Amino acid sequence: MLDIKFLRENPDIVKENIKKKFKDSKLPLVDEAIELDAEKRAANNEANDLRANRNKVSKQIGMLMAQGKRDEAMDMKKLVSEQADRLKELEEQENELTAKLNQVMMKIPNIIDDSVPIGKDDSENVEVQQYGEQTKVDFEIPYHTDIMAHFCGIDKEAAGRVAGEGFYYLMGDIARLHSAVLSYARDFMIDKGFTYCIPPFMIRSNVVTGVMSFEEMDAMMYKIEGEDLYLIGTSEHSMIGKFIDTITPETSLPLTLTSYSPCFRKEKGAHGIEERGIYRIHQFEKQEMIVICKPEESMEWFNKMWSYSVELFRSLDIPVRTLECCSGDLADLKVKSYDVEAWSPKQQKYFEVCSCSNLGDAQSRRLGIRIKGEDGQKYLPHTLNNTVVAPPRMLIAFLENNLDFDGKNYTIRIPEALRPYMGGKTEIKSNN
């Protein structure tokens, strides 16, 4: 959410930013916000004048009563009573206008960084760099659920009976591999100096609207019926929410946290090969990282965070590339975003496994997260988030890039970094 003062003083910049994001339908929101802000300030000014006048008149009434001028004092009391009614009306008007203004401001996109490429949608995202040679094999790689089936590692049919589409059972060594990847990712981030955390898996509506746009909320979140609670779609939500309405001393920055959680998502409109199997599901587990830092340090942290994902995937022998999201592919709160994509030798293309985002001070403003500087002044920090790993997507990339076939049996190679989490195993052999 933008600073209303910035919008008031720079409406053309805000409108140009909306055009860069190809969201022209939101252009009227700028003028609507300016109008509401003007009405709110006018009501506030009148209310302040009435409060000041009330204090002044109250003193005069006391003086008149002391002088025995009762009739004059009663006339002034009547005036105070009339002004009190008007003041109450103005205060109600202020509250109503504040609520309306906040609703409008939350729909206006954040100002994107100057370095973001301009494009309408994800088809115009820009490749930044590739890391590692694309895996090549001399056999046909099965679809990822078929790979798992060779190791008796998945049961979607039973999950369908229990929970419906979009769920699965992981079994045996595949389930163990899934947990090993998460444990390795946890320790990887701890070694980077991040504090490990397991957060709440449900959050209240004021946290939801503080961390994401209304469009994202509708597309992603599951609401708990009868309660002001939502299942998290990512632990970023509850991790940033941890600091709602807090004032943190600047000496504590940066705040660097890595969190484990299950994640729950509606995943509306899933189609095609990437949506079959376990590419897009309603429940999965993830290791996340978040940073809260000084505004001037946020781009430095942004580059560190996506590079950590690249380093982790390469340590597991998975080729990846970084892709910069263009303006039209950025969610409303994001200032800049990189996707880390893993190579799929099955599909002969890259697919998203991590998303690193700098959200500027948008979440801080919505949630009331403030920093107290050494000079005593308070300011809004910048917030950033990035996926460390999110099985099962990461697991798909791992299986495809570490699979061998001798003509009869399949083998999954276990990279050295993961072996301590797999009981020292160097490989897993299929059952057929």
Torsion over CA: 79, 81, 87, 89 (sign)? negative
Note down the domain range covering 14. 4-105
pLDDT at 34 (0 to 100): 97
Query: Do 11 and 137 fall within a single domain?
Result: no
> What pLDDT is stored for residue 66 in this prediction?
65
Task: Please list, in sequence order, all residues whose beta carbon lies within 8 angstroms of the beta carbon of residue 82, skipping any fewer than 6 positions away.
Answer: none
What residues are paired with 196 via a beta bridge?
Answer: 258
Residue 13 sits in the same domain as residue 148: no
The helix, strand and coil proportions of the chain, stated in percent and rounded to the nearest 5, come to 45, 20, 30
> Residues 207-216: pLDDT tens digits?
999 998 777 7
Q: Kindly state whether residues 42 and 164 are assigned to the same domain.
A: no
Q: What pLDDT is attached to residue 268?
A: 52
- Rounded Cα distance, 208 and 229, in Å: 9
Domain end: 63, 78, 105, which one?
A: 105
Q: Tell me if 408 is assigned to some domain.
A: yes
Specify the CATH number for the domain of residue 93: 1.10.287.40
Evaluated on CA atoms 328, 331, 336, 342, the torsion sign reads negative
The pLDDT assigned to 276 comes to 60
pTM given for the model: 0.89
What is residue 271's predicted lDDT score, i.e. its pLDDT? 42
* Same-domain pairing of 91 and 37: yes
Q: Are residues 53 and 160 in the same domain?
A: no
Q: Is residue 316, in this structure, part of any structural domain at all?
A: yes
Domain boundary among 50, 80, 105: 105
The pLDDT, as a whole number, for residue 274 is 45
Does residue 90 form part of some domain?
yes
Please tell me the total count of domains within the chain: 2
Q: How far apart are CA 25 and CA 332, in angstroms?
A: 13
Name residues of the chain where pLDDT drops below 70.
Answer: 55, 57-64, 66-67, 70-71, 73-78, 82, 268-277, 432
223 & 135 share domain? yes
pLDDT at 270: 45
**CA–CA separation, 234 vs 262, rounded Å?**
8
Are 390 and 300 members of one domain?
A: yes
For residues 97 and 130, state if they share a domain. Answer: no
